[in-house]
Structure 1
Amino acid sequence: MNSPKGKIEPLDQIPSGIPGLDTILRGGFLRAGITIIQGVPGAGKTILGNQLCYNHVANGGKAIYVTLLAESHARMMLHMSQLSFFNADLVPERLYLISAFRVLEESGLKGLQDLLRREIQKHGATVVVLDGLVAAEESATSAREFKKFIHELQTQASLTDCTIFLLTGAGSRPVAPEHTMVDGILELKSENVGRRTERVLVAHKMRGVDVLRGHHAMRITAGGMEVFPRIEAVIGDPDTPPAHVTRALSSGLPVLDRITGGGFPQGSTTLLVGAVGVGKTTLGLQFLSQCTADAPGVMLSFYDGPAALLTKAGNLGLNFADAVAQHAVEIIWQPITEGQLDEICDRFLRIVRLKKAKRVFIDGIGGLSRIAGDQDRLARVLAALNIEFQLRGVTAIYTAESDLSAAIHGKPFDGLSLQGVSSVAHNIVLMRYVELRSELHRMISVLKVRSARIDSGLHLYTMGPKGIEIEDDTAGAARILHALESSGSSARVLDA
């Protein structure tokens, strides 16, 4: 179609019907183009091919699924029937299954080409999946003949306005001749993360489209294939102006609000650093207990399930359970034993956006770290989450666990490593143990708060029937630290 001078018409694409995949492809596959989908056995090619067909016909199109050396149609239908996208009523009304192996064996690539042409015209198909391209390649008498077959498929796709998908195994050649001829190439892979194996999708090529590059998480569920783009690639645009900061949000602890300069600035991220059992989760629960139906919150927990969190909050006299019961707070429970980083972040952010959350609490970074495996990437993901929260005016708290070890007497911050946290958090709150004469004391201090005047002194705090209660001044902490310095080997500061 001609377009006005200087105006570039967008490419015509057809959606896959798989939201994450369409995001990676910037809208879908090239219409009337050819895409190779390659992967090792068990990677999910047949499921993806069928899902593309069923999604297409469910939206009014017609599709043909052609098998060569793949499993029988009856067996394939049995397997697909376990997935929610399957609809037997569409076969053969709008989805046609064709076995072309005998035609290929008896008449070669020319016979296969003629069969595809006839069936596309006969049924008016707008999507065709050819499962088993490797069989077609093996039947070619030369590389030239196989390339000619691909070229004629391109011509057929263009003439009939039909989008064609070619499913094949992962070739030993890094760049096969047909790769240079087709419009798109997707690869389904498996990657080892420790002793765990994760499914990955890579969009190597989509002609005329700036696809999201890199390895994207995917998994096969009862609903079929789900794809989760790299979260740092689809997060909010850092050049977009952030939500206007109108106020600071209360932490739920009056003294902490005072020493942070009025509370946590709206849209900021706070890092709570402290050893195990020091009260980080409790502080986060008090923060979320301030949520209302009009200003809801979301918690992502890696260590405690909902029942344990509700019991803990109840024992501390917090109204957290009421906030959950009134749907002012939603808990996402993610054990660290399994999971993919992008899938977890996608689920978390969908709920944050759906609820229009104003507060979030991630307990904690250590859980994300164990699942991510790649620590360099984790830092980028956390930085991207900060951008998303800032753009939406969401105030967030993360917890980070420090080591429980002895520091030099009289130096409560000795041994604490906070290198590189500026991209993770705008605010930093430190929670510490101090051991004096066989008794543990807890202290809290504010290291920084974005755009606020803070009280950086150490304050004693206790955990009782009302949750965390912080002493209003630094006198108690000063006495402990003075005694700590004077008592020699009988006193220790415990922290990172």
Structure 2
Amino acid sequence: MTGAGASTTRVGGYGGLERVPTGIAGLDAILGGGLFEGGVYIVQGTPGSGKTILANQVCFTHAAAGGRRALYVTLLAESHARMLGHIAPLGFFDSGAIPDRLTYLSAFRTLQDEGLSGLLTLLRREAAGREASLIVLDGVMAAEETADSAIEFKKFIHELQTQAAATGATILLLTSAATGAEMVAAEHTMVDGLIELSSRPYGRRSERDLEVRKFRGSGFLRGRHVFRITDAGVAVYPRTEARLREPSRRDHLRGPKVPLGVPALDGMLDGGLPLHSTTLLAGPSGIGKTTLGLQFLGSGAEPGLLVGFHESAESLKAKAEALGLAAAAAIAAGEVGLMWQPATEGLIDEVCDQLLATVRNRGVRRVFLDGLDAMSRLAEDGDRIIRIVAALTAELRALNVTSIVTMETDLTGLAAGFPLSGVSLRGASAITENILLMRFVEQRSALHRMVSVIKARDSAIDQRLRCFAIRAGGLVVEDGPDRAEAILAELQSPAGRRGGE
């Protein structure tokens, strides 16, 4: 049987079993397509980690598929009315599914009066009578505490596995057992999979994460993956560098150059940026990086996307209009989209997921990511940022996108003979094929703007510095290096060196 969100997918290698998607896209991506039909899985986490919401969302999604039914059995004292009251505002909730396609049943009294054997009898009877293909048992710790011995509880888990295998029903066991390296409970070795939910503090903030610690029958994405509980329900975001460890398709690198929209700068780049390449635009605050990025987006007929971390969408629109940039009309016409993510709070994997979804849905061919340094602050682990951006830019190339990312440098002025002083480009080669450097140069009481091309893939570039200015219409780069050379020559003169002391 198939249906929206809960269709089964036949896979090879594990007895020809079918997949049962959870309906949570990110979790299914981590699992390689979903759970297995007839499997028994533990969902484990501390109280408040999101187990109950996740399990209910899987049940409602499963019940939404034509002809499929789910059974949610609780071993807790909390009433179903109270639990349903908590999840009713969430987007996946559908009161019409209850009780025919999704049945809630309390087995708390049965467990107290009849023990594990009575609980097994109830589960077999209710699952068969309701033709349930998905069963959730919420509160497995209560069942373990009822068992007279560890052997009796092992037998209980074994009987559940036998029932699942015989009927093809998939079983989820929810438990609040201890998490972490101490996990040695027998049930962990017996079940087909173990999914752990947790909430971890990072400074003054905390993030929810999910880790698949065991999954029989197929590969899965290892490590901790962030998730959040939204108005729609649980949203899981696989680690970007794991999900995109290889681009979705081979790069297509040959083709016409992509103009930046600044003629002299395009000339320095041998006609423009290499097709489907990534360019790092480095420079201090106020130098004109965002303005150049807007010119890049407005200079082509292809759909574009600006991903900003510093300025809001309204601020970027106002900047484009005030400078009279072509991007202003492109934004108004919907040809260039704006995606703003404040760097104060957010999940970096969610940002990457939304960015790529927008690129695919809109057929975007130019991306300007304004604020690599701000984006890195969303990563709970600073060491991840290079791997994340390397995977992201590789996927953008695979999607036929030419992109620019900005990085903020310090305000150290350009020193004669040391044009790269104060600039750290460590790790840049992993994420970018081209590098443009924008610098301020102090001369007497004046600040001059200069730009240089550090490298560009397969291009005969002009690496001499050029002066530029920001005027109506955007950046204007001088046709030659003469004025830049004169300024640098004065800096190198005895008078110039004394002035800088």
TM-score, normalised by the number of residues in structure 1: 0.95
Confirm or deny: 8 A CA contact 1:70 1:132 kept in the other structure: no
Among 433, 441, 444, the alignment partner of 2:448 is 441
Q: 1:8–1:38: structure 2 CA closer, same or farther, 3 Å change rule?
A: closer
Confirm or deny: 8 A CA contact 2:413 2:442 kept in the other structure: no
Confirm or deny: 8 A CA contact 2:248 2:395 kept in the other structure: no
Confirm or deny: 8 A CA contact 1:236 1:387 kept in the other structure: no
Q: CA RMSD in A?
A: 1.6
Among 275, 284, 289, the alignment partner of 2:284 is 275
User: Unpaired segments of 5 or more residues in structure 1?
Assistant: 1-5
Deviations 1:360-403 (A, max 9, x none): 00011111111113222110111111211221221000000001
Q: For the residues of structure 1 that align with 2:77 and 2:479, how far apart are their CA atoms?
A: 73
Matches within 5 A, 1:59-458: 59-60=65-66, 61-69=68-76, 71-171=78-178, 173-235=182-244, 237-238=246-247, 240-292=249-301, 295-406=302-413, 408-458=415-465
The count of corresponding residues between Structure 1 and Structure 2 is: 485
Deviations 1:74-131 (A, max 9, x none): 0011111111111111111111111111110111111111110110111111111010
Q: For the residues of structure 2 that align with 1:160 and 1:393, how far apart are their CA atoms?
A: 47
Confirm or deny: 8 A CA contact 1:296 1:358 kept in the other structure: yes
Q: 1:160–1:142: structure 2 CA closer, same or farther, 3 Å change rule?
A: same
Structure 1 residues 11-20 or 138-147, which shifts more? 11-20
Q: For the residues of structure 1 that align with 2:381 and 2:361, how far apart are their CA atoms?
A: 29
The amino acid across from 1:278 in the alignment is I
Match of 1:56 in 2: 62
Moved over 6 A (4+): none
Post-superposition shift, 1:405? 2.6
Confirm or deny: 8 A CA contact 2:379 2:385 kept in the other structure: yes
Confirm or deny: 8 A CA contact 2:276 2:397 kept in the other structure: yes
The amino acid across from 1:259 in the alignment is M
Q: For the residues of structure 1 that align with 2:444 and 2:321, how far apart are their CA atoms?
A: 32
The amino acid across from 2:120 in the alignment is Q
Q: For the residues of structure 2 that align with 1:470 and 1:188, how far apart are their CA atoms?
A: 53
Q: 1:22–1:280: structure 2 CA closer, same or farther, 3 Å change rule?
A: same
Q: For the residues of structure 1 that align with 2:483 and 2:442, how far apart are their CA atoms?
A: 14
Match of 2:25 in 1: 19
Match of 2:9 in 1: none
Confirm or deny: 8 A CA contact 2:414 2:439 kept in the other structure: no
Confirm or deny: 8 A CA contact 1:298 1:330 kept in the other structure: yes
Q: For the residues of structure 2 that align with 1:236 and 1:212, how far apart are their CA atoms?
A: 10
Confirm or deny: 8 A CA contact 1:291 1:323 kept in the other structure: no
Match of 1:32 in 2: 38
Confirm or deny: 8 A CA contact 2:414 2:441 kept in the other structure: no
Match of 2:3 in 1: none
Percent identity at matched positions? 49
Q: For the residues of structure 1 that align with 2:248 and 2:152, how far apart are their CA atoms?
A: 51
Q: 1:406–1:472: structure 2 CA closer, same or farther, 3 Å change rule?
A: closer
Structure 1 residues 190-199 or 93-102, which shifts more? 190-199
Q: 1:160–1:275: structure 2 CA closer, same or farther, 3 Å change rule?
A: same
Q: 1:240–1:10: structure 2 CA closer, same or farther, 3 Å change rule?
A: farther
Post-superposition shift, 1:242? 1.0
The amino acid across from 2:200 in the alignment is E
Q: 1:48–1:420: structure 2 CA closer, same or farther, 3 Å change rule?
A: same
Q: For the residues of structure 1 that align with 2:102 and 2:276, how far apart are their CA atoms?
A: 49
Q: 1:184–1:397: structure 2 CA closer, same or farther, 3 Å change rule?
A: same
Confirm or deny: 8 A CA contact 2:261 2:299 kept in the other structure: yes
Q: 1:234–1:442: structure 2 CA closer, same or farther, 3 Å change rule?
A: same
- Secondary structure of residue in 1 paired with 2:377: helix
Confirm or deny: 8 A CA contact 2:256 2:275 kept in the other structure: yes
Confirm or deny: 8 A CA contact 1:184 1:206 kept in the other structure: yes
The amino acid across from 1:284 in the alignment is G
Q: For the residues of structure 2 that align with 1:236 and 1:10, how far apart are their CA atoms?
A: 27
Deviations 1:124-159 (A, max 9, x none): 111110100000000000000000000001111111
Deviations 1:394-428 (A, max 9, x none): 10000000011356455332232222210111000
- Secondary structure of residue in 1 paired with 2:279: strand
Confirm or deny: 8 A CA contact 1:279 1:463 kept in the other structure: yes
Confirm or deny: 8 A CA contact 1:276 1:401 kept in the other structure: yes
Confirm or deny: 8 A CA contact 1:251 1:287 kept in the other structure: yes
Q: For the residues of structure 2 that align with 1:413 and 1:282, how far apart are their CA atoms?
A: 22
- Secondary structure of residue in 2 paired with 1:387: helix
Q: For the residues of structure 2 that align with 1:203 and 1:242, how far apart are their CA atoms?
A: 31
Post-superposition shift, 1:241? 2.7
The amino acid across from 2:123 in the alignment is L
Q: For the residues of structure 1 that align with 2:392 and 2:94, how far apart are their CA atoms?
A: 38
Q: 1:7–1:141: structure 2 CA closer, same or farther, 3 Å change rule?
A: closer
Post-superposition shift, 1:176? 1.2
- Secondary structure of residue in 1 paired with 2:294: helix
- Secondary structure of residue in 1 paired with 2:119: helix
Q: For the residues of structure 1 that align with 2:276 and 2:53, how far apart are their CA atoms?
A: 41
Deviations 1:15-50 (A, max 9, x none): 111111111111110111100000001100000111
TM-score, normalised by the number of residues in structure 2: 0.94
The amino acid across from 1:183 in the alignment is D
Match of 1:3 in 2: none
